Amino acid sequence: MTQPIAFLDGPWWPYLALVLFAVLPTEIWRWLAVVFARRLDENSPWLEWVRLVAMALLAGVVAKLVLAAPGALAAVPLTVRLAALAVAVAVVLAFRRKVMLAVLAGEAVLIGGAVWLS
């Protein structure tokens, strides 16, 4: 457990920590985007580049969350985690982009694998 910063500690510490170390580092990029977007033309080819970089970044976050898994997920073997992702993608591609179905299938593989292997 990370200990509170001593001179800021108190009953409000969890709220303060959330704002300082989670809200600000996340929100700052959304605010910066407002500033940048004002100068960008709607039809600029750069927008397409920006969108694709965002896609690749998002996929990178997925890879990190699965490889360096938090909490109880770390106890599930990596192969099961990867299989769950693969099944979800296969379902989205096969069943005309039904996200809910894909999520359920991926979760079934993950929970099933975790139960079976433990």
Partner 1 sequence: MTEVASNHWLRPWGRGFRDAVMLPAWVVGLSLMGVGTLARDVGYPVEVAVLSTILVWAGPSQVLFFASVAAGAAWSAIALAIGFASLRFLPMTVALLPLLRRPGQSMAQQMLIAHCVAVTSWVEALRRLPNIPSEQRVPYFFGFANALIVVSAFTTFVGFQLAGVVPAPVAAGLLCLTPIFFLSSMVAGIRGLGDTIAISLGLALAPLAGWAIGGGFDLIASGLVGGSVAFLVQRWRMTRGSAG
For the segment 50-89, give every residue that binds partner 1 (CB under 8 A).
50-67, 69-73, 75-76, 81, 84-85, 88-89
Q: Which residue's CB is nearer to partner 1, number 10 or number 48? A: 48
Out of 10, 78, 79, 97, the only residue in the binding site for partner 1 (CB under 8 A) is: 97
DSSP state of 2: P
Nearest in space to 109 (alpha carbons), one of 83, 71, 90, 89: 83
Min dist CB 70 to partner 1, Å, is: 4
Residue 47 identity (one-letter amino acid): L
Does residue 94 bind partner 1 (CB under 8 A)? no
DSSP line for 13-45:
HHHHHHIIIIIHHHHHHHHHHHHHHTTS-TT-H
Min dist CB 4 to partner 1, Å, is: 9
User: Which residues lie below 8 Å from residue 25, measured CB to CB, with a gap of 6+?
Assistant: none
Over the window 4 to 43, marking each residue x when it contacts partner 1 by CB under 8 A and - when it does not, the resulting string is: -x--------xx-xxxxxxxxxxxxxxxxxx-xx--xxx-
**What is the total count of residues that contact partner 1 (CB under 8 A)?**
78
113, 84 in Cβ contact below 8 A? Answer: yes
